[in-house]
Amino acid sequence: MSQFTSTKIPRSPAPLTGQHAHEMRAFGSLVHMPIALSKDARRASAENLNQLLADTITLRDLYKKHHWQVSGPTFCQLHLLFDKHFGEQNELVDLIAERVMILGGVSVAMAADVAELTLVPRPPKGREEVPVQISRLLHAHEIVIQEARAMARKATEDGDDGTNDLLVSSVIRTNEMQVWFVAEHLVDGPLVHADGQAAKQAVDH
């Protein structure tokens, strides 16, 4: 009988830094998850959600850019509103990414990879006027809402109720509400006098 001598390597309290290895799973790959969904259904939802994730990350970051760079008379209210919406979009990012992993996929994560996938147009690095900032946000919202609705229908067809619920209850409703709050800032309404009031006062005097 052969004998083997095991050598114990003493553990060190120092952190094991500088470690490298091949990635565990490639982006786009799919592993089995026992959630009672077919492989095809899980793959379709994971791919769709990664697209939505890239666009939601971009929309989220667009809000933070505008939060920092907003200017003018409405600075205070938009500065706060943009940051509130950033936080809500950040919650959606986490929910979408986790759903991709639940389905057995690999969620997109890094900025460079997101930039390759997103359908949201890239803004300039510099500061833009408020109406342009808001218009960019509304366009990005519409991209997200449109694809989320199509993805929700596909998830329903595939029996993926979890993905459908995420898309309808969280993504679509949150984005629609944010559109309302942001779009109202582009209404060209009077700030002090109602329409015709200034003219009437001029005649009276």
- Ranges under pLDDT 70 in the chain: 1-7, 9, 196-205
Q: Where are the domains of the chain?
A: 47-120+130-185
pLDDT for position 196 = 66
CA 65/CA 143 separation, integer angstroms: 19
pLDDT for position 41 = 98
Q: Report the topology of domain 47-120+130-185.
A: Ferritin (1.20.1260)
pTM value > 0.85:
yes
Residues 107, 101 contacting (CB under 8 angstroms): yes
Nearest one of 48, 35, 54 to 164, comparing CA atoms: 48
105: exposed, middle or buried (Cβ count in 10 Å: 0-12, 13-18, 19+): buried
CA 182/CA 1 separation, integer angstroms: 78
pLDDT for position 192 = 72
